[in-house]
């Protein structure tokens, strides 16, 4: 009798007629922001400036033979200008972009968080 009562209590706690699978969400985080990549063949270090309007929102340095990328957190400007200054008397190379932000949900379509992200890429040689 005790076994029957214990089985009934266990079933009440875990048995269900609901056949829908339960959603499981992971805990991967994400941030709103803009990824900036520079494809280059430059043989010297250079500085990358990222501007939104008249404001510089990020500056970073890149070295020859290394990937050149940065993520600008919590910035989602409508228009952005990326400039590469290699020095040595060369004029900076600049390009203005209108980033296409996409909604990113790293834990699945129905799981939080959701963040807006875009990538812009400038090529220089």
pLDDT tens digits, one per residue of 38-70: 999 889 999 999 999 999 999 999 999 999 999
Give the residue extent of every domain in the chain: 2-124
What is the structure's pLDDT at 22? 74
Q: Work out the mean pLDDT of the chain and round it to a whole number.
A: 85
Cα(45)–Cα(60) distance, integer angstroms: 11
User: Is the entire prediction scored with pTM above 0.85?
Assistant: no
CA angle (15 as vertex; 2, 21 as ends), nearest 5: 160
Q: Is 14 helix (H, G, I), strand (E, B) or coil?
A: helix
Percent of the chain topping pLDDT 70? 83
What is the structure's pLDDT at 109? 87
Cα separation of the two ends of the chain: 82
What is the structure's pLDDT at 125? 83
Q: What is the mean pLDDT of residues 65-77?
A: 95
Q: Which residues fall within 8 angstroms of residue 68, CB to CB, at 6 or more apart?
A: 37, 38, 39, 40, 48, 62
Domain 2-124 has CATH 2.60.40.10: yes
Cα(96)–Cα(78) distance, integer angstroms: 11
């Amino acid at each position: 009798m005790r076994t029957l009562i214990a089985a009934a209590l266990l079933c009440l706690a875990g048995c269900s007629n609901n056949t829908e699978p339960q959603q499981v969400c992971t805990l991967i985080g994400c941030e709103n922001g803009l990824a900036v990549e520079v494809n280059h063949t430059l043989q010297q270090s250079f500085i990358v400036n990222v501007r939104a309007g008249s404001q510089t929102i990020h500056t970073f340095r890149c070295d020859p033979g290394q990937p050149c990328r940065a993520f600008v957190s919590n910035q989602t400007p409508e228009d952005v200008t990326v400039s590469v200054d290699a020095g040595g008397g060369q004029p900076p190379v600049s390009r203005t972009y209108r980033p296409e932000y996409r909604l990113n949900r790293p834990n699945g379509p129905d799981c939080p968080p959701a963040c807006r992200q875009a990538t812009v890429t400038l090529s220089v040689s």
